[in-house]
Amino acid sequence: MDYNSSRKHLILPEYGRNVHKMVDYALTVEDRAQRNHVVKSIIAIMGNMYPHLRDVSDFRHKLWDHIAIMSDFNLDIDSPYEAPTKEKLAEKPDRLPYSTKRIKYRHYGRTVEVLIAKAIELEDPKEKDALIIMIANHMKKSFLNWNKDSVPDEKIFKDLVALSKGKLEIPERLKLAEVKEREFVQKIKKKKNPRTDNRNDNKNDHRKFNKPRA
């Protein structure tokens, strides 16, 4: 028996063994023009395997890179893009700097602090008030997500002023958007699963139609 475990390792398994065999065949074609024609045909087949990605930018570039990888970078062809190298592929990405800045109120998150800093810089009073209202409403939703209980607007206003170090003033008679706390929390905790709901509906229908007659 010929098992896959005893066959040649697939470099990119998502394309399957037949595509890898086509790439291996392209390596054996000696005529360069014919080899380019074969590779273009393979590229077309690879693209048809993922039609939903045709409109994605650089999709064809990725296909040409993938065919080079599957050939172990031994395929000598006229690629419309710069061919990748084995050394470039093996390079490790640069380490991303991890923010060590302390977040005063973790339940609001770092983004709220960035927005507050932006609001402080704004000079137009209307734009500043509009941004403050948006930040306050977002803070209320974030608080409910973390606290899972009701929260008075005054608490949000107090925290916003504290985060701005007193540099922001709450617009007069500001009332935050009404949020039904319990419903908001339930939507976050319980996102309906259509498959589970359908199974439950089927069970109920089964019980309904198979109910014993009196």
pLDDT in tens, 184-208: 545 555 554 555 555 555 555 555 5
Length of the chain: 214
CA–CA dist 119, 111 (Å, integer): 12
Q: At what angle do helices 59-70 and 16-28 cross, to 10 degrees?
A: 70
Tell me the whole-structure pTM to 2 decimals: 0.49
CA–CA dist 15, 156 (Å, integer): 53
Q: Where are the domains of the chain?
A: 4-88, 110-189
Closest CA to 63 of 77, 42, 35: 42
pLDDT in the model for residue 200:
54
pLDDT in the model for residue 55:
74
> What residues in the chain have per-residue pLDDT under 50?
185, 192, 209, 214
pLDDT in the model for residue 84:
87
pLDDT in the model for residue 100:
75
